[in-house]
Amino acid sequence: MKGEIYRVAGPVVTIMGIKPKMYDVVHVGNEGLMGEVIKIEGDKATVQVYEDTSGVKPGEPVVNTGMSLSVELGPGLLESIYDGIQRPLKVLQEQMGDFIQRGVTADGLDRERVWDFKAVASVGDVVEGGDVIGVVQETMNVEHKIMVPPTVSGTIKDVRSGDFKVDDTVCTLEDGTELSMVQKWPVRLPRPVTKKLMPTKPLITGQRILDGLFPVAKGGTAAIPGPFGSGKTVTQQQLAKWSDTDIVVYIGCGERGNEMADVLNEFPELQDPKTGRPLMERTVLIANTSNMPVAAREASVYTGITIAEYYRDMGYDVSLMADSTSRWAEAMREISSRLEEMPGEEGYPAYLSARLSEFYERAGCVHSLSGEEGSITVIGAVSPPGGDFSEPVTQNTLRIVKVFWALDAKLAQRRHFPSINWLTSYSLYTEGLSGWFGENVSPEWVSLRNNAMDMLQQESELQEIVQLVGSDALPENQQLILEICRMLREYFLQQNAFHPVDTYCSFDKQYKLLKSISTYGDKAMIALESGIPMSEILALESKDDLAKVKFEEDFDGVLNEVLAKMDKEFAKLGGN
Amino acid sequence: MTKEYKTITEIAGPLIFLEKTEPVGYGELVHINLPDGTTKRGQVLDSSADVVAVQVFEGTGGLNEESGVVFSGETIKLPVSKDMLGRILSGSGEPLDGGPSIIPEDRVDVNGASMNPYSRMPPEDFIQTGISTIDGTNTLVRGQKLPIFSGSGLPHNEIALQIARQAKVPGSDEDFAVVFAAMGITNEEAQYFMQDFEKTGALERAVVFLNLADDPAVERIVTPRMALTAAEYLAYEHDMHVLVILTDITNYCEALRQMGAAREEVPGRRGYPGYMYTDLASLYERAGVIKGLKGSVTQFSILTMPGDDITHPIPDLSGYITEGQIVVSRELHRKGIYPPINVLPSLSRLMNSGIGDGKTRDDHKAVSDQMYAGYAEGRDLRGLVAIVGKEALSERDQRILEFADLFEDRFVRQGRDENRTIEDTLSVSWEILSELPESLLTRIDNKYIDKYHPAHKSN
Ligand SMILES: Nc1ncnc2c1ncn2[C@@H]1O[C@H](COP(=O)(O)OP(=O)(O)OP(=O)(O)O)[C@@H](O)[C@H]1O
Ligand SMILES: [Mg+2]
State the average pLDDT over residues B363-387: 91
The full 3-state SS of A233-254, as one line of letters, equals HHHHHHHHHHCCCCEEEEEEEC
Cβ-Cβ contacts under 8 Å for A497 (sequence gap 6 or more): A234, A237, A238, A417, A418, A503
Domain extents in chain B: 4-74, 78-354, 364-457
DSSP E strands in B329-459: the ranges are: 341-348
Please state the φ and ψ torsions of residue A274, each to the nearest 5 degrees: -85, -40
Higher pLDDT, A459 or B268: A459
Its sign, for the CA torsion A356, A361, A362, A364, is positive
Bridge partners, B154 (sequence order): none
The two domains B4-74 and B78-354 share their CATH topology (first three levels equal): no
Tell me which residue of A333, A74, A57, A343 sits closest to B276, measured CA to CA.
Answer: A333
Is residue A489 within 8 Å of residue A208, measured between CB atoms?
Answer: no
How far is A62 from chain B, CA to nearest CA, in Å?
Answer: 15
Chain A contact for B324 (CB, 8 A cutoff): yes
Give the number of the atom of ligand 1 that is nearest the alpha carbon of residue B352: 31
The full 3-state SS of B36-100, as one line of letters, equals CCCEEEEEEEEEECCEEEEEECCCCCCCCCCCEEEEEEEECEEEECHHHCCEEEECCCCECCCCC
Nearest residue of B to residue A473, measured between CA atoms: B392
State the average pLDDT over residues B165-187: 88
CB-defined site of ligand 1, < 6 Å: A 226, 228-234, 255, 383, 417-418, 495-498; B 320, 347, 349
The full 3-state SS of A63-119, as one line of letters, equals EEEEEECEEEECCCCCCCEECCCCCEHHHHHHHHCCECCCCCCCCCCCCCCEEEEEE
The closest CB to that of B26, out of A6, A8, A81, belongs to A8
Region class of A378: left (phi > 0), else alpha (psi between -120 and 50), else beta:
beta
CATH number of B4-74: 2.40.10.170
| C-alpha A52, offset from chain centre | 28
- Would you state the pLDDT for residue A535? 86
**CA A370 – CA B207 distance, rounded (Å):** 63
Least confident residue range of A237-246, A353-362, B213-222:
B213-222
Tell me which residue of A489, A536, A537 sits closest to A213, measured CA to CA.
Answer: A489
Please state the φ and ψ torsions of residue A300, each to the nearest 5 degrees: -60, -40
Give the number of the atom of ligand 1 that is nearest the alpha carbon of residue A237: 18
Which three-class secondary structure state does DSSP give residue B382? helix
Bridge partners, B132 (sequence order): none
Which three-class secondary structure state does DSSP give residue B13? coil
Please state the φ and ψ torsions of residue A224, each to the nearest 5 degrees: -120, 90
Cβ-defined contact of B275 to A334 (cutoff 8 Å): yes
Give the helix/strand (H/E) hosting B231: helix B219-238
Q: What is the mean pLDDT of chain B?
A: 91
Q: Determine whether A133 is exposed, middle or buried from the number of CB atoms within 10 Å of its CB (0-12, 13-18, 19+).
A: buried
**CA B196 – CA B165 distance, rounded (Å):** 9
Please state the φ and ψ torsions of residue A435, each to the nearest 5 degrees: -60, -45
* High-pLDDT (> 70) share of chain A, %: 99
Give the number of the atom of ligand 1 that is nearest the alpha carbon of residue B321: 26
State the average pLDDT over residues A350-365: 96
- Would you state the pLDDT for residue A575? 62
Cβ-Cβ contacts under 8 Å for A326 (sequence gap 6 or more): A381, A382, A383, A384, A393
Residue nearest ligand 1's atom 6 by CA: A417
Residues 306-365 of A with CB under 8 A from B: 327, 330, 333-334, 337, 343, 346-347
User: For A295-321, what is each residue's pLDDT tens digit?
Assistant: 899 999 999 999 999 999 999 999 999
**CA B454 – CA B459 distance, rounded (Å):** 9
Please state the φ and ψ torsions of residue A33, each to the nearest 5 degrees: -65, 140
- Would you state the pLDDT for residue B97? 87
Is residue B184 within 8 Å of residue B212, measured between CB atoms?
Answer: yes
Is residue B95 within 8 Å of residue B382, measured between CB atoms?
Answer: no
Which three-class secondary structure state does DSSP give residue A299? helix
DSSP state of A553: S
Chain A contact for B46 (CB, 8 A cutoff): yes
* High-pLDDT (> 90) share of chain B, %: 66
Cβ-Cβ contacts under 8 Å for A561 (sequence gap 6 or more): none
Reported ipTM: the value is 0.91
Tell me which residue of B227, B62, B244, B232 sits closest to B146, measured CA to CA.
Answer: B244
Residue nearest ligand 1's atom 29 by CA: B349
- Would you state the pLDDT for residue A576? 62
* High-pLDDT (> 90) share of chain A, %: 81
Tell me which residue of B450, B444, B448, B407 sits closest to B428, measured CA to CA.
Answer: B407
Tell me which residue of A297, A337, A253, A358 sits closest to A46, measured CA to CA.
Answer: A337
Check whether domain B78-354 has CATH 3.40.50.12240, yes or no: yes
Chain B contact for A57 (CB, 8 A cutoff): yes
| C-alpha A145, offset from chain centre | 23
Residue nearest ligand 1's atom 11 by CA: A231
**CA B256 – CA B275 distance, rounded (Å):** 10
Identify all chain A residues contacting B112, using CB atoms and an 8 Å cutoff: 99
Q: Alpha helix locations (H) across B288-390?
A: 313-321, 330-334, 351-354, 364-388
**CA A279 – CA A44 distance, rounded (Å):** 47
Residue B188, number of CB atoms within 10 A of its CB: 9
State the average pLDDT over residues B114-132: 94
**CA A382 – CA A225 distance, rounded (Å):** 4
Using the predicted structure, report yes or no on whether residue B459 has a pLDDT greater than 60: no
Cβ-Cβ contacts under 8 Å for A376 (sequence gap 6 or more): A219, A305, A308, A309, A312, A318, A319, A320, A362, A363, A364
Q: What is the mean pLDDT of chain A?
A: 93
Residue nearest ligand 1's atom 8 by CA: A231
**CA A272 – CA A282 distance, rounded (Å):** 8
Strands B176-185 and B241-247: parallel
* pLDDT band for position A490 (cuts 50, 70, 90): very high
State the average pLDDT over residues A148-152: 95
- Would you state the pLDDT for residue A370? 86
Tell me which residue of A423, A436, A331, A429 sits closest to A377, measured CA to CA.
Answer: A429
- Would you state the pLDDT for residue B458? 60
State the average pLDDT over residues A357-379: 95
**CA A229 – CA B348 distance, rounded (Å):** 9
User: For A376-408, what is each residue's pLDDT tens digit?
Assistant: 999 999 999 989 999 999 999 999 999 999 999
- Would you state the pLDDT for residue B47? 93
Q: Which of B102-111, B143-152, B217-226 has the highest mean pLDDT?
A: B143-152
- Would you state the pLDDT for residue A458? 94
- Would you state the pLDDT for residue A150? 95
Tell if the pTM clears 0.80, that is, is over it: yes
Cβ-Cβ contacts under 8 Å for B285 (sequence gap 6 or more): A256, A257, A289, A290, A291, B114, B115, B145, B321
Maximum Cα interatomic distance, chain A, rounded to a whole number of Å? 92
Which three-class secondary structure state does DSSP give residue A223? strand
- Would you state the pLDDT for residue B314? 96
- Would you state the pLDDT for residue A1? 62
Is residue A273 within 8 Å of residue A211, measured between CB atoms?
Answer: no
User: For A20-45, what is each residue's pLDDT tens digit?
Assistant: 999 999 999 999 999 999 999 999 99
Is residue A270 within 8 Å of residue A262, measured between CB atoms?
Answer: no
**CA B86 – CA A536 distance, rounded (Å):** 68
Cβ-defined contact of A468 to B388 (cutoff 8 Å): yes
Residue A351, number of CB atoms within 10 A of its CB: 13
Cβ-defined contact of A81 to B118 (cutoff 8 Å): yes
Q: Which of B199-213, B388-402, B405-419 has the highest mean pLDDT?
A: B405-419
State the average pLDDT over residues B410-428: 96
Tell me which residue of B179, B237, B174, B172 sits closest to B205, measured CA to CA.
Answer: B179
- From first CA to last CA, the distance across chain A in angstroms is 88
- Would you state the pLDDT for residue B443? 84
